[in-house]
Structure 1
Amino acid sequence: MTVATGVAGQPVAHSLSPLIHGAWIRATGLDAVYDRYDPPDVEGFRALIERGRRGELRGLNVTAPFKAEALAMADTATATARICGSANLLLFVDGRITADSTDGTGLMAALAEQAPDLDVRNQTVVVLGAGGAARAAVAALMAAGAGVSVLNRTRARAEGLVAELGATVAGPAALEQAILVVNALSVAPDIDLSVLRDDAVLMDMTYRPLTTPFLVAGRARGLTVVDGLAMLIGQARPSFRALFDMEPPAVDVRCLALAALDEVA
């Protein structure tokens, strides 16, 4: 029987997750599919999840705007998902739903791949934004031993996030001290890169476009940069393990994704 999995979001047509997981599925010879699901609203998403509960799906990756609802609908959740306040992975077993978040794992994998000399332990890290992506970044970086400060245009939102996770609101000197700045906003941040340390690393969590203005400016400043595609692949690996109970095969999915993005490495 073909195993049904996929990614759910709105919009989801742009997602590269089916390309990545599809390549791994073909390489392993699994009798499985990984499709896109685009419920129009929360009610449609809930109906999709009920299909999983009935055994029609083994699992789903979840993207915006349904990550919080994914956590709310689960019967059980990992500590990581609870800390993040959202889930990007749902597993359906015997009518029960387990929620997890692999976003933080993806972020740390991307840093290890593209900034291998970076050590955030006992270092100042600044996360730009205070939404769901920022929460995942803050949680992962704090778990790695960083001192995380959150910088957001609306200070009240930053204060709410740090109060829950134990980080701090970024003060005037945070950027000057930061060894890493992570953009968790969906737009280019308005910050002065000239104040950053010469050994600072910049990361952008988005991958469309792959080379964002934020990363372009960082490269021009001579800084190491980390792109969102590395994070996407990094979070897909533990998702594949959970969905199919095996390691992803050795396939150059980044090359495939770059071709789909019409980008150069």
Structure 2
Amino acid sequence: MIGRITGAARLAGVIGRPVSHSLSPILHNYWLARLGVDGAYVPLPVASGRFVDAVRGLQAAGFRGANVTIPYKEEAYALADSLDPLARVAGSVNTLIFRDDGGVHGASTDGFGFLASLEDAGVDVKTLPGKGPALLLGAGGAARSVALALLERGVAVCVSNRTDERARALVEELGAAWSEHVGAACPELSVIPWDAWQSELNGFSLLVNSTSLGMHGGPDEAFAPDLGAAGDDLAVSDIVYVPLETGLLRAARARGLRTVGGLGMLLHQARPGFRAWFGAEATVDAATVAHVMAALKR
């Protein structure tokens, strides 16, 4: 599906190293063609040390902005002239929007994508604060985005990581950043040891895996923890999307629990950037999912 591109086309892309694996060009160009937008979205591999040069060059060439992936999210944060609240607390940016006055706005859309994927799967985020805290596995950049999105909705978050020190560091950093940039009381943040969380599941309303455990080619593709202690209303989310159903999600489904796969987060996080760059509202529907799933299977 290829849309019409003219000399007035709106342009955007994804900056990273590497970007050959990115599904973003497939997704954005599908939306562009489907909505009849005169535009294009391209992969932008940028060499180490050239990130700022690349961004300034894109601005000079008339681009509307870009997604930013590993390893440049922190550099994007430092470069931005203005930041949305979640990006400010997270300390990283995955979406750059080039303003008409020459400024650069930085946004963090992973949290938006995560919450939208929960809602698509029938998990009512508004009710979670009254049902108990969320248990978050992992302490990396994805964990930070997920935690902040939940905290913003008033959900207490308990973090568990294979390296306990990293979990404690994440909790301390998020608490401090929240106090500095949000100015309101932060919902409860806590830590539970990695070897204890499976036996304590009954106290949680949501379980989220933000690690690479269960990912194809990751450190433990067979990751399928024991969910026997979970309450019947626990929802289980995995941000891994290759494979589409991880061992964790299979274990949850076998227990009769609600499950949320990682593909929805990937698709929904792209919507705010698409709106800003191309001036159109993209939707994540069955046709969009089918198009991206076909690309994953190639």
TM-score, length-scaled by structure 2: 0.81
| Aligned residue in 1 for 2:296 | 261
1:113 deviates by: 0.6
For structure 2, the residue ranges without an aligned partner over 5 or more in a row are: 1-7, 176-188, 215-222
For residue 129 of structure 2, what is the amino acid of its counterpart? R
1:156-204 deviations in whole A, cap 9, x for unaligned?
A: 2111211132321126465331111111112235743222222211111
Whether the 8 Å CA contact 1:27–1:249 is kept in 2: the answer is no
For residue 237 of structure 1, what is the amino acid of its counterpart? R
For 1:216, which of 237, 243, 250 is the aligned residue?
250
Q: Secondary structure at the match of 2:293?
A: helix
CA distance in 2, matches of 1:56, 1:168: 45
Q: Secondary structure at the match of 1:199?
A: coil
User: 1:159-178 counterparts in 2 under 5 A?
Assistant: 159-166=168-175, 167-170=189-192, 172=196, 174-178=200-204
For residue 152 of structure 2, what is the amino acid of its counterpart? A
For residue 273 of structure 2, what is the amino acid of its counterpart? S
For residue 174 of structure 2, what is the amino acid of its counterpart? L
CA distance in 2, matches of 1:55, 1:110: 34
For residue 236 of structure 1, what is the amino acid of its counterpart? A
Whether the 8 Å CA contact 2:268–2:284 is kept in 1: the answer is no
CA distance in 2, matches of 1:201, 1:104: 17
Q: Does 1:101 align with 2:102?
A: no
Q: Secondary structure at the match of 1:22?
A: helix
| Aligned residue in 2 for 1:245 | 279
| Aligned residue in 2 for 1:120 | 128
C-alpha distance 48-175 of structure 1, shift in aligned 2 (>3 A)? farther
Whether the 8 Å CA contact 1:115–1:226 is kept in 2: the answer is no
Whether the 8 Å CA contact 1:54–1:95 is kept in 2: the answer is no
1:29 deviates by: 2.0
User: 1:1-265 counterparts in 2 under 5 A?
Assistant: 1-41=8-48, 43-93=49-99, 94-117=101-124, 119-122=127-130, 123-166=132-175, 167-170=189-192, 172=196, 174-188=200-214, 191-248=225-282, 252-262=287-297
Whether the 8 Å CA contact 2:271–2:283 is kept in 1: the answer is no
1:258 deviates by: 1.4
CA distance in 2, matches of 1:176, 1:250: 32
TM-score, length-scaled by structure 1: 0.91
CA distance in 2, matches of 1:190, 1:11: 30
For residue 121 of structure 1, what is the amino acid of its counterpart? P
CA distance in 2, matches of 1:59, 1:67: 14
Greater C-alpha radius of gyration: 2
For residue 80 of structure 2, what is the amino acid of its counterpart? A
1:53-105 deviations in whole A, cap 9, x for unaligned?
A: 42432111112222122111111111110111211100112322110011111
For structure 1, the residue ranges without an aligned partner over 5 or more in a row are: none
